[in-house]
Structures are given as structure tokens and as C-alpha cells.
Structure 1
Amino acid sequence: MVEIVRLAAKGDGVAADGRHVALTAPGDHVAADGAITPGPHHATPPCRHFPDCGGCQLQHVDDATYADFVTARVVGALTGQGITASRVLPPHISPPGARRRAALRASRQGRRVVIGFAEAGSHALVDLGMCSVLDPRLFALIAPLRALMLTILPDKRAAHVKMSMTDQGVDLLLEGVRVAGLAADEGLTEFARSHGLARLTIDEGDGPQTRWEPEAVTASFGGVAVPFPPYSFLQATPDGEAALVGAAADAMPATGAIADLFCGLGTFALALGQGRTVYAAEAAREPVLALKSAAARGGRRLGADHRDLFRRPLTPQELDRFAAVLIDPPRAGAKEQVMQIAASAVPVVVYVSCNPSSFARDAAHLIAGGYALDSVKPVGQFRWSTHVEMVGVFRR
């Protein structure tokens, strides 16, 4: 028998002889015939859909092992670039039932509607009868949605079900459905009313159309309510957002203007910008307009700029006026903007990332430009998954 000594990046256990064994935890033993003897870190999965459902990969490990995995994903990516952070802070792990946004799929075969996540490595859907990660208010809509889909989803077709928790409640976007006739139309209104939706939006293929919105839907950041376009980006969990914002706030200088690049709806710009001037840049038009109007109503000194930072990154001359720069790019990273930051004199750079690999690559450019990686904070918002986020603080 061989012992599992660690977890690989995709969640497989790695044995002492280098073999990868699925669904094992450190301390498990694997016999020559593949039989697994659970060790002290092997846990009983809380969800009956595990491991078929692709939403989770690590429900079979205990909490301590999962926290170690989140940290190892960050440290391992940095090591691969020859980087060592001065400090690796304790990881933050979101609790079960905290996920406030989800993109599910719905499929209809005759009178049966399946709603759920896809199986790992497959397009087949797992029909969710329970979910250990979703906010219960989101999960509570799945059963009633099956009945609704019988009236608006054509047979042998699939649709997207996108849900977010907002200030007013659940924001629901249904894509790929067809609303034909008065009965179906009235059924949508009744569904939204009876389930207390904040908003119901339908996209039949020609763009989203709001069917129900009793009051303007918003998401609040730093005490400012921002208009929320249907299924706009939110951090996956409220506590995860707080952990990311807290790590960024701890790094901010006491005074001076700051920049928030790839700002979205203003998660960081509004939370960090109380009492100071903030420049916020984002390529997507709707979030910029929403942030600009919210900041004006909230009396914030915030300039929101509709700017594609891949095509037109801020130059060193533009960056040098800031006491700190926060950057929160997409998964692929932001090499073009990072190279400009590396050539600047900005004293503090806070890099929020959802991809350890692209973070490490960009970190190498910042370090080559004269920055030191002062600290890194791993964050596991997507509990029991291999998806890891982090906050890195760079100083000149």
C-alpha cells in the first residue's frame, strides 16, 4: 500500500510514489488493486450528489486539509515562478450555504425538467435535490423553477438559470426560454410575485427583458447602493468579499488618492474610498454607469472611467499620481497593465486575483520592476472546489 501525501491542483490525491488517485485525502492508503483505506483527514461528503456534481471537488477532505489546499495552491503557483512572499497570511474559507450567485443549467425532456450543475468533465446535468454551497434562498427556487420551465422551455431544449442575491432579494435571469401566449406571460408574473423575487429577467435570444422589478435592484458596497444590472459580477460570498476587502484595506496608506483598476460595480472602490479620492476604471459600460451614478448620489469623490485596460492601460505617468493602486483583473491576468505598473513609482500595489497561476506570472513582472511581495492572503470562497482567490500586497 502507498500513502497519499498531498492534494494536486485539480484535487486528486498524490501518493508517495507520484501516482494521482481521485477522491483521496492526505493520510489515506491505496492498495495495489486501487482500494482506498481512509485516513484521519478523509471526511464524509455532506452532499449526496458528490462526486458526480461538478460544483464541488473536495467534499471528501476535512476542513483543515481544505484550508491547507487553498494556501498550497497560492504558494505553489508562486514557487513555480521562483517567488516567495514575505508573509503568507492565514486563509479565509467561506462556510457552507454562503454562495450568493450561481449559474445553473436547465434541460427539458418531455415532462421532466432537470436543473443543476454539470457533471465533472461532462455536459450531463445533475438534478439538484440538495446543495451544500448555495445560499438557501437560491436553492429554494430550484424546485418551483422546474414547474415554471414546463411552460417556457421547449421540449429537448436547454436554458441558463442565473441567480444573484441583491439588496432586495433574489435577482433571477432566465436565458434560452420562450414565452409564448398570455398564460405563460402571466405565469412569469405570478412566479415572481409569489416567490418574492427582486427582479425577473427573460432572454429569449434577442437580449434581456425585465418582466418583474417592484423597485430598482441594487447591490451595496461600502454603504453605497449601486444599480445592479441582471447577473452582474459579485464576489461569490459576502464573507469572502469582506475578507478580500479587509486584506486590501489593511494595505492602504492613510492618505492619498487610490486607483481601482477593473473596478466592476465598485466592490473595492466604494469600500476603500470613504473620505478619499478614487479613480475607478472598467471596460464594461453598464457597471461604469451604475458606479458613476451611485457614487454621485452617495457624495463620494470617485471618478469612474469607461476604459479598456487591455487595449489602453494606464501609463506610468498616469499611475504616479496615486498613493496606491488596486487591480482586480479577469482570470487571465493583466500583463499589459501590470507592465505599466512595474515601470511606475506607485508605492503600494494590491492585486486581487481569482487565478493563482496568472497572479504568479504577473507578480514576477512586478518584482522584476522593483516591487517586493509583502504578503499574500489566500481566500476559498468556492468552498470544496479547486477555485482559489487571493490578495497580494506589493511594495516598492
Structure 2
Amino acid sequence: MSDERELRIVRLGAQGDGVADREGHPVFVPFTLPGEHVLADVSGERGRLVRILEPSAERVEPICRHFGTCGGCSVQHMSLAAYRAWKGELVSSAFRARGIDADIADLVEPGGRRRRAAFSVERAEAGLAIGFHEAQSHVLVAITECPVLEPKIVSMLPQLGALLAPLVSKRGARLTITATNSGLDVLLDGTERRLTPDVRSRLAAGASDLKLARLTVSNDVVVETLPPFLSFGAADVVLPPDVFVQAVAEAEAEMARRITAAVGKAKTVADLFCGMGAFTFPLAARARISAFDGDKDAIEALVAASKKTSGLKPVAARVRDLFREPLSPLELNEHDAVVFDPPRAGAEAQAQRLAKSKVKTVVAVSCNPATLARDARVLIDGGYKIESVTPIDQFVYSAHVEVIAVFRR
């Protein structure tokens, strides 16, 4: 049951929703700001904004026509000053929750737009609807613009919809597009249509006309006109289909610069959760690298690139599940510094081993302040001191923030 209620927004939640206190319980109202008096349709702990009765002075006009329906961005309605303060508080509060009094640096804003997007795809009367779901909903919002995505991705959506429409059933599909140095890398997942020779020929011709670098349907590479690659330091790395990449090239470059500076003159570095080598190769310009990741395809891409890149110190890369088999203190002690950049779940098991090691410098990179703070607590309890904590705004207008933390013994 829901009902319309007047609410006073008192704070922002971790996901960017405004929070009102109602009879001792929080009510989360998206697209609202602290201090605002609003009318909301309330159901349990969720409220749908009906009307703003008294706006905040921090409210600004969103820059995208889809804001408020598309679930991709949550805070385009917030002034720049309030936005920066909120992003910093996301990191500060995570560290405070672990009893860590850390000096959080100002938000670093590298600029740039996302070079990868994973779209939902559904059949529609005019072909395919390609876009993002509304927040907490299965309703698809077909997008015609997106200020956080590379324009070349958005501009290609109508043509891709026409090309791929025959492959998509009523159940829908998932379309992942990556802007690479050699063109767009396109992956369609969830199709049930068998790729007959005629279908394959039509797709290949269409992909060629659109100048796609590669088109993959499920696990089947239909056509690869040019190997899709990204540059990390001096290396050009060819992407396996659907491998992890950092969202924004400019943010990745800023992180690599800061990581390299933090490592300094270390001669041997372990790069854990290394992926395809976004940080491996910049580090390898000055240090011998041991790189580890659980993704076999990513490691193979890293190894292939290292073999054809000159001017690097030795790079040894191995497949290893660092959640189940973290490096031991003895293995870690072979290195002057360790860099780790795990998925959102963090690297608790590896942090516990690091806490027992003698490694002088640890650089932690994370897209989840909560798990980073947890791992930082482990390192601090093991004798490390925090030198710096720097939030980096890779995920503009969202509740996500990248963080680099440097620890020293």
C-alpha cells in the first residue's frame, strides 16, 4: 500500500537518494536533496517523488533529458559543490565506520566519458529498444543521448539496433559496446537465434559497413575487421570479448600515474588483480613486475602484449584465484611494493596476508569504499600507516567512486 505524504529531506543516502525520517523510520526518495520539502508517494521505505514543494538552493537543472527515468545517473540534480562534498563523504563515512581517522583528499576529476556500456535490449514496434532500466524496475528506457558515454557509442545505437534486431527474441538480450583504439567492439549476449551461414554473412557485411572492430554474438566471434585494442603505458593490448576494462580512459591514466608515483623507486612490484595490465605496463617501465589475476583470458592478453612491447622491465603474469589462493607472506616478501585492484568484494584474504608480510609499500585501488575501508583496517592492524586516500570521480553522476589508498611500513 502506498500513500502521498509531505516529507522533509534531511540527508543524502549512500546511493544518492534523499532520506526523510518518518515516524522513526527512513524513507528514501530519489532525486531529492537535503532541506527540501517534497510530496512523495510512499510505500514502505521507498518514496516516489511527486512534486518539490520547497527546493534546495543546491538544486540544478539536469543535463540529460532521460534523467529521472533512466536508472544510470542518480545525482544530476545536485550542484557541483554539493556533489563533490557528497562523493568525499562516501569515502570518509566508510573509513569512519571502520574506526579509521583518514584525511581524505579532494575529489580528483579527470574528465572523460565512459568507453564501455552494457545496455539492455528489448523488441519494440520499430525494431529494438536499447537503453537502461529505470531504477529498481524492469521498465526499459530507450536512450537517445547520454552525457557520460562516449558519443560514438550512443550515435551507433540505431544502426546496431537495425543490424541485430533479427537476433533478439521477446526475452530480450544484453548489448555491451566498448570504444577501443581500433573501433567499437560489440558483444550481444542472450540471443537464442542460431547463426546460419546466411545470418552470419549478413551480420559480417553489416558490421563491416558500420566499421566495427569486432562483432561477437554470445561466445561466437562473427567478424573481426581489426583487433580491438587499448593502450596501457607503452603496450597495446588486444581485448578478449567481455573482459574487464576501466570505465574511463582518463581516469585510468590518472590512477596509473598516481600508482606509479606511490610505488616510486621500487625495483620489484606485485600487481594483484591485474586484469589485462592497465597498471602493469606503466609500472613495468621502471620495475620488474609479477602480475596475477583469476581471469585466464585477461592474463593471456597481458602476456601476448608484453612479448611484443619493447622497453619494459621483465613481466611475469600468471593465472591465480586470489580470493581462494592469495599470495603468502613469503611470496609477498619478494617484492618492494604491492598494488591490488580487486572487484567490489575487495581483497580481505589478500590483505590479511599482506598484514603479515614485510612489504614496505602497498597501494590499494577500489571502486567500493566500504570494502576498501575493511581491507585498510586489516593492513593498519598489521602495522601499516595510511599515507593518503584519494577519491577519483570515474563514475560521474553515480553513487560509485574510485579510491586509491597508499600504505607504508
Whole-angstrom distance in 2 between the partners of 1:320 and 1:105: 45
Give the corresponding residue for 2:387: 374
Determine whether 1:8 maps to 2:13. Answer: yes
User: Superposition pairs for residues 272-311 of structure 1, below 5 Å?
Assistant: 272-299=283-310, 300=312, 301-311=314-324
Aligned-residue offset at 1:92: 2.1
Aligned-residue offset at 1:30: 4.4
Give the corresponding residue for 1:170: 184
Whole-angstrom distance in 2 between the partners of 1:228 and 1:189: 19
Q: TM-score, normalised by structure 1?
A: 0.92
- Considering Cα pairs closer than 8 Å and 6+ residues apart, tell me whether 1 or 2 has the greater RCO: 1
CA contact (8 A) 2:144 2:154 kept: no
SS for the counterpart of 1:116 is strand
Which residue of 82, 91, 100 maps to 2:107? 91
Whole-angstrom distance in 2 between the partners of 1:14 and 1:109: 36
Whole-angstrom distance in 1 between the partners of 2:71 and 2:10: 24
SS for the counterpart of 1:164 is strand
Letter in 2 for 1:328: D
Give the corresponding residue for 1:152: 167
Aligned-residue offset at 1:28: 3.6
CA contact (8 A) 1:151 1:184 kept: no
Aligned-residue offset at 1:250: 2.3
User: Superposition pairs for residues 226-375 of structure 1, below 5 Å?
Assistant: 226-299=237-310, 300=312, 301-375=314-388
Letter in 1 for 2:395: F
Aligned-residue offset at 1:247: 2.2
Q: Residue by residue, what CA displacement relative to the aligned partner does 1:242-300 show, whole Å, maximum 9, x if unpaired?
A: 22222212211313211100100001111122032011001111111111121122143
Aligned-residue offset at 1:111: 4.8
Higher fraction of strand: 2
CA contact (8 A) 2:187 2:241 kept: yes
| Count of residue pairs brought into register by the alignment | 389
Letter in 1 for 2:153: L
Give the corresponding residue for 1:51: 68
Q: Residue by residue, what CA displacement relative to the aligned partner does 1:64-85 show, whole Å, maximum 9, x if unpaired?
A: 2222221111111000011022
Give the corresponding residue for 1:24: 32
Letter in 2 for 1:356: P
Which residue of 137, 140, 148 maps to 2:155? 140
SS for the counterpart of 1:114 is strand
Aligned-residue offset at 1:130: 1.6
Whole-angstrom distance in 2 between the partners of 1:58 and 1:304: 40
Give unmatched runs, 5+ long, in structure 2: 1-5, 41-49
Which residue of 56, 68, 86 maps to 1:69? 86
Give the corresponding residue for 1:42: 59
| Cα pair distance change 1:358/1:114, threshold 3 Å | same
| Cα pair distance change 1:94/1:59, threshold 3 Å | farther
Whole-angstrom distance in 1 between the partners of 2:376 and 2:353: 13
CA contact (8 A) 2:127 2:162 kept: no
Q: TM-score, normalised by structure 2?
A: 0.89
Aligned-residue offset at 1:25: 2.5
SS for the counterpart of 1:357 is helix
Whole-angstrom distance in 2 between the partners of 1:255 and 1:302: 14
Whole-angstrom distance in 1 between the partners of 2:213 and 2:120: 21
Whole-angstrom distance in 2 between the partners of 1:371 and 1:113: 53
